[in-house]
Amino acid sequence: MSQTLRVGIAGLGTVGSSVVRLLDRQSKALASRTGREIKVTAVSARDRNRDRGIDTSSFKWFDDPVALAKSPDIDLFVELVGGAEGPAREAVEAALAAGKPVVTANKALLAKHGMQLAALAERTHAALAFEASVAGGIPIVKTLREGLAGNQIDRVYGILNGTCNYILSRMELEKLSFDECLKEAQTLGYAEADPTFDIGGFDTAHKLAILSSLAFGTAVDADAIHVEGIESITLADLEAAAELGYRIKLLGVAQRTAKGIEQRVHPTMVPLSSSIAEVMGVTNAVTIDADAVKELTLVGPGAGGEATASAVVADIADIAKGVRSTPLGLPVASLDHSPRLPMQRHEGGYYIRLSVFDRPGAAAAIAMRMAERQISLESIMQRTRPGRRSPVTALDRVPVVLLTYATSESTIREVLEAVVKDGYIAEKPQVIRIERE
């Protein structure tokens, strides 16, 4: 390897262009910190003529990222193409097979093929670094893999998607509907034209799969994660949560329990007093519960060109210094492949909102159903429709909000199924889990 670290970058979108600018801007400082010059020498992008705000005249261009990954003109391959399959996967595999270190921000690729890629990196003694794949500029991968190596981690949870956090924040603060906030997020570029990957919770699940592997020494398995999005959250839920002392966030939660490792992504009520409840807008946050440090929360920009580029360049600098960590913290052969805990066995408190027909004894009958399954209720809120002047009819509905103490997911589902069959409610029940401190 030459004294100069020759970097090839595949993908010159927002992040890729920011990486080029950051490496140029910090070239002297990086050379001093790493002991060698770091220089972009080759790139691959779909459109050579696009104005990216960077000077690309000195770079060798490759139309095929796989050819770039194999090229003897580079010492390190940076994959910023995106996607779990196609050119991104093929190029990363080609670089690792050739023994070249790889830096990637591709959480979808790692969530689906992380085990195979880590094993390939181990066989060829090539670095595989991916700090930018989770939570943008927050150094959560290094924190879990190296910084907390002396801790037993019991829980990792956090806000891992800025789009969802922005929508929920705007709904709460501006009293807007979900659809209004989603449209605004799309206008500002926080959400894609098809926002399903973000608002459906799948982006968060991919990131959680990576964090769970690092935290608990388990195989990366995004398919084992229970996933719910924020599409069903209404302004009424946010207002009720605030009245009860909570705030609703889309959380990814990976937790060690006596029954196994629990992994879930869903809207969650967190106490207003918690640090994670204070994180608003597009910001991300990750909280780690461990035996030595107790609780550690990292907060910062979860996306954006500069923030993500910061994480990419940090990985490049490590490789320039000769730092090569085992990609997933433990050798692939040592990772635990035991089945994950099914969601039905999750235990915790629950917020339940029901649209109940306004009939005498309806709320009491629902409470009785809860008692039959030994579900203890922390509170019940029933509100009549304000300003109603007409007589009550059999079709009138009132919102009833129940807050339960700890119980199991399966028990909650059984009770609600019975309540629906009893004919007391007019709509599908809203269920939100509670994550207490």
Query: Active-site positions?
Result: 207
The count of other CB atoms within 10 Å of the CB of residue 159 is 28
Separation of alpha carbons 260 and 221, rounded Å: 14
Q: Looking at this protein, which amino acid is placed at residue 408?
A: S
Return the C-alpha torsion angle 201, 204, 206, 209, nearest 10.
-120
Q: Is the dihedral of CA 237, 239, 243, 245 positive or negative?
A: positive
Whether 312 and 170 have beta carbons less than 8 Å apart is answered as no
Sheet holding 76-79, edge to edge: 60-62, 38-44, 5-10, 76-79, 102-104, 128-129
Q: How many residues does the chain have?
A: 437
Q: Which residues of 42-72 are buried (b: 16+ CB within 10 A; e: fewer)?
A: bbbbeeeeeebebebeebbebeebbebbbbe
What stretches of 71-175 show up as alpha helix (H) in DSSP?
87-97, 107-124, 140-142, 162-174
Q: H-helix or E-strand containing 237?
A: helix 235-243
Separation of alpha carbons 313 and 26, rounded Å: 10
Pick the closest to residue 80 from 23, 19, 27 (CA basis). 19
Q: DSSP state, 236?
A: H
